[in-house]
């Protein structure tokens, strides 16, 4: 800290600044110059610190007249705290021994008010180096200090503001892109502490692909050239996970326009991006649904009118047939009949797309329907295609029209085959799935059964996907398709309360998924409509065969119960009293403990006639010779059996 001096309008006592004699007129002019300065307190102290001269600036700053302060010790300008701490003495000692003292501190005016002073004390010596006194210059910089303090507080508040922001990463970069500071938001979003990133290049936050493409350097160059660079893209956190960021890079220049760095603000917009994408998907799904609804209404109206015209033509042909026409006319009429039949089939397909075709819907187990239709699907796929059935166990039931569900699968398999002219792999997959609201089309949240047909074929372009379900739209050559296959699929599935989703990539294949509402697998019992999960009782003494049978029935969604022989099976059934305990009895023909599978079947049929019974045997011919009449009463399946065999018998009427 340093001292302040007061200045008075005159210099009553002046210590010479040089030992050389000065011209009287020059000395007088110099003294007048010092005395007239009012912006600085310029005065002299003797070697002990007593005031020996005073100028106008000193009088203005300190409030003392020359006669009031001359001969007083300069320590009176210090605060009591500084005097108690010995600051005046230390200031003189520093000037005496070091040749100069410079400092800042609070000083006290004559009226007791304080001001902030900048002080310089220089020792004055004669030619022999003897200390004569001190020259003291004091300047009132209270206003400047207040401005500096205001700036400091403003900067501090700004730093606190920046550090307090947690939703944005706000940090600075050097002109080369090195990180120079780091806020709490940056640490939260990116996962790095300040110590880990200071001095490192900001390109570390970019993906490998972006770094290789020169994105970080391009950002700096653009901001330096244009003053700002704004972008969105994937960034990498400390743990390696990615987030989608919105980033702004602003160039910072000094008053001369020199680039001194960049301010970078980054925001994690991953959730907003996902929300926007979801909204866009919902809009697209709604638009697609509205478009298909409009096309369906138009198609349905045309199909109905066309059906009426066909009805007139069909009746006319029948009348002409009844009039015993000649052979030539008969051939023409037969051709007309075939054309009318083809037209009727076409209108049925159009009505199916328009969801105006009556359905005979019932509760079915999708795996069972697929299993019984497996051979037809395999033949339709052709010899060049590897066909895989991936059926989930314990699949929920669906409420569909059996014949139209089979036609839908056949349509999808044929389309998949045609998409693989050189052969490939075809998979039919079933799964239980839970969907969020609007996750697939406009379907509400809930449990669904997904039936997917996936191929490794040519795939579809986005334009083809957007029109795939429109009637008569086809990419096949003329004469190779009507363009109604996927239209029928879409119409049937939506009429059944579901939706269809296409996932495809050019050159990598297509997956078409059917989503149908899941239902509990139930049967009516006792005439009271009590519902329970469908159950099968498997009676088999071979444990390996038993395990395979259990897997097959579980795949079809049945609740499985087992018994090692007929006696144990009857005991299990009797535990339920008068109510039936199972819906299906599946028993081996040859059984131990004196009761064959046929004996068990007869007893179950007598006591519980509503139970469906299927008998399995590895020796069907011998069994048929031994008990031909009895076997005709029950469904019979030969060993080894497959899912398709069981499904076919389960669907057959009891």
24-28, 279-283, 372-376, 478-482: which has the minimum mean pLDDT? 478-482
81-95, 130-144, 177-191, 578-592: which has the minimum mean pLDDT? 578-592
Question: Domain limits of the chain?
Answer: 24-141, 165-268, 280-348, 361-517, 530-651
At 222, the pLDDT band (50, 70, 90 cuts) reads very high
Segment 589-610 shows an average pLDDT of: 86
Report the pLDDT value the prediction gives residue 232, as an integer from 0 to 100: 92
> What does 72-141 look like in DSSP terms, one character per residue?
SBGGGGB-HHHHHTTHHHHHHHHHHHHS-EEEEEEEE-TTS-EEEEEEEEEEEE-TT--EEEEEEEEEE-
90 against 557, higher pLDDT? 90
91-95, 173-177, 460-464: which has the minimum mean pLDDT? 460-464
Q: CA-based angle 388:393:399, to the nearest 5?
A: 95
Q: Which fold has domain 530-651?
A: Rossmann fold (3.40.50)
Nearest to residue 442, comparing CAs of 508, 381, 501?
501
At 200, the pLDDT band (50, 70, 90 cuts) reads very high
Report the pLDDT value the prediction gives residue 304, as an integer from 0 to 100: 56
Out of 1.20.1250.20, 3.30.450.20, 3.40.1500.10, 3.40.50.1820, which CATH number does the structure's domain 24-141 have? 3.30.450.20
At 521, the pLDDT band (50, 70, 90 cuts) reads low
Report the pLDDT value the prediction gives residue 104, as an integer from 0 to 100: 92
The average confidence (pLDDT) of the chain is: 79
233 against 652, higher pLDDT? 233
Cβ(70)–Cβ(13) below 8 Å: yes
pLDDT digits (tens, 9 = 90+) for 361-398: 788 888 888 888 888 888 888 888 999 988 888 888 89
Q: Is the pLDDT of residue 353 over 80?
A: no
Tokens 């296409």 correspond to what residue?
Answer: 502
CB crowding 402-411: b at 16 or more within 10 Å, else e: bebbbbbbeb
pLDDT digits (tens, 9 = 90+) for 241-251: 999 999 999 99
At 133, the pLDDT band (50, 70, 90 cuts) reads very high
Report the pLDDT value the prediction gives residue 223, as an integer from 0 to 100: 93
Report the pLDDT value the prediction gives residue 597, as an integer from 0 to 100: 87
Cβ(245)–Cβ(268) below 8 Å: yes
Out of 1.10.1740.10, 3.30.565.10, 3.30.70.600, 3.20.20.140, which CATH number does the structure's domain 361-517 have? 3.30.565.10
Q: Is the pLDDT of residue 50 over 90?
A: yes
Segment 429-443 shows an average pLDDT of: 89
Q: Which fold has domain 165-268?
A: Beta-Lactamase (3.30.450)
At 30, the pLDDT band (50, 70, 90 cuts) reads low
Cβ(586)–Cβ(614) below 8 Å: yes
Question: What are the strands of the beta sheet with 41-46, ordered from one edge?
Answer: 41-46, 131-140, 114-125, 101-108
Q: Is the pLDDT of residue 178 over 80?
A: yes
As given in the structure block, the two tokens for residue 260 are 């001194």
Of the chain, the percentage scoring pLDDT greater than 90 comes to: 30
Segment 153-158 shows an average pLDDT of: 63
- Kindly report the length of the chain: 654
Does this chain's domain 24-141 share its CATH topology with 165-268? Answer: yes
Report the pLDDT value the prediction gives residue 69, as an integer from 0 to 100: 92
Report the pLDDT value the prediction gives residue 10, as an integer from 0 to 100: 38
316 against 592, higher pLDDT? 592
pLDDT digits (tens, 9 = 90+) for 493-510: 888 889 989 999 888 899
Question: Using H for helix, E for strand and C for coil, what is the string for 534-545?
Answer: CEEEEECCCHHH
């Amino acid at each position: 800290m340093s001292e302040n001096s007061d200045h008075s309008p005159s210099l009553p006592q002046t210590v010479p600044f040089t030992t050389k004699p000065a011209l009287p007129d020059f000395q007088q002019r110099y003294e007048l110059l010092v005395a007239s300065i009012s912006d600085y307190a310029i005065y002299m102290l003797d070697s002990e610190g007593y005031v020996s001269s005073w100028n106008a600036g000193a009088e203005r700053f300190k409030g003392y007249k020359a006669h009031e302060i001359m001969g007083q010790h300069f320590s009176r300008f210090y605060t009591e705290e500084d005097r108690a701490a010995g600051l005046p003495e230390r200031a003189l000692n520093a000037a005496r021994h070091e040749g100069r003292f410079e400092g800042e501190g609070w000083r006290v005016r004559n009226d007791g008010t304080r001001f902030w002073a900048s002080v310089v004390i220089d020792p004055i010596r004669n030619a022999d180096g003897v200390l004569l006194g001190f020259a003291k210059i004091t300047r009132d910089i209270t206003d400047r200090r207040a401005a500096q303090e205001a700036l400091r507080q403003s900067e501090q508040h700004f730093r606190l503001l920046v550090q307090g922001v947690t939703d944005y990463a706000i940090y600075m970069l050097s002109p080369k892109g090195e990180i120079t500071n780091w806020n709490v938001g940056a640490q939260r979003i990116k996962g790095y502490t300040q110590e880990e990133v200071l001095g490192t290049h900001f390109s570390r936050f970019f993906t490998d692909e972006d770094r290789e493409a020169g994105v970080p350097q391009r950002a700096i160059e653009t901001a330096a050239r244009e003053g700002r660079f704004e972008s969105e893209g994937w960034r990498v956190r400390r743990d390696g996970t990615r987030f989608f960021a919105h980033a702004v890079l602003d160039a910072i220049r000094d008053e001369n326009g020199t680039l001194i760095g960049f301010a970078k603000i980054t925001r994690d917009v991953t959730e907003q991006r996902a929300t926007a994408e979801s909204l866009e998907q919902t809009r697209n799904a709604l638009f697609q649904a509205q478009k298909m609804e409009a096309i369906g209404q138009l198609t349905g109206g045309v199909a109905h009118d066309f059906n009426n015209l066909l009805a007139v033509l069909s009746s006319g042909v029948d009348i002409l047939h009844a009039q015993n026409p000649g052979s030539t006319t008969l051939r023409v009429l037969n051709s007309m009949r075939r054309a009318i039949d083809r037209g009727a089939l076409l209108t049925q397909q159009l009505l199916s797309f328009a969801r105006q075709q009556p359905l005979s819907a019932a509760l079915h187990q999708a795996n069972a329907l697929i299993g019984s239709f497996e051979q037809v699907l395999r033949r339709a796929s052709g010899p060049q295609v590897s066909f895989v059935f991936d059926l989930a166990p314990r699949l929920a039931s669906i409420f569909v029209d059996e014949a139209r569900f089979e036609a839908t699968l056949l349509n999808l398999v044929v389309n998949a085959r045609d998409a693989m002219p050189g052969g490939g792999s075809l998979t039919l997959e079933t799964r239980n799935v839970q969907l969020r609201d609007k996750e697939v089309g406009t379907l509400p949240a809930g449990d669904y059964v997904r039936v997917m047909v996936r191929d490794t074929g040519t795939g579809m372009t986005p334009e083809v996907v957007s029109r795939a379900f429109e009637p008569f739209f086809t990419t096949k050559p003329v004469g190779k398709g009507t363009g109604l296959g996927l239209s029928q699929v879409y119409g049937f599935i939506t009429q059944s309360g579901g939706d269809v989703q296409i996932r495809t990539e050019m050159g990598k294949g297509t997956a078409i998924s059917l989503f149908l509402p899941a239902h509990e697998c139930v049967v009516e019992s006792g005439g009271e409509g009590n519902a329970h999960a469908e159950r099968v009782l498997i009676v088999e003494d071979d444990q390996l065969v038993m395990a395979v049978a259990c897997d097959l029935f579980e795949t079809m969604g049945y609740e499985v119960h087992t018994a090692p022989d007929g006696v144990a099976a009857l005991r299990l059934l009797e535990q339920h009293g008068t109510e039936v305990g199972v819906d299906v009895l599946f028993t081996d023909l040859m059984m131990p403990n004196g009761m064959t599978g046929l004996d068990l079947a007869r007893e179950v049929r007598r006591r519980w006639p509503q139970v469906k019974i299927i008998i399995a045997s590895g020796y069907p011919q011998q069994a048929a010779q031994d008990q031909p009449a009895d076997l005709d009463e029950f469904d019979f399946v030969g060993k080894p059996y497959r899912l398709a065999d069981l499904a076919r018998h389960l669907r057959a009427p009891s």
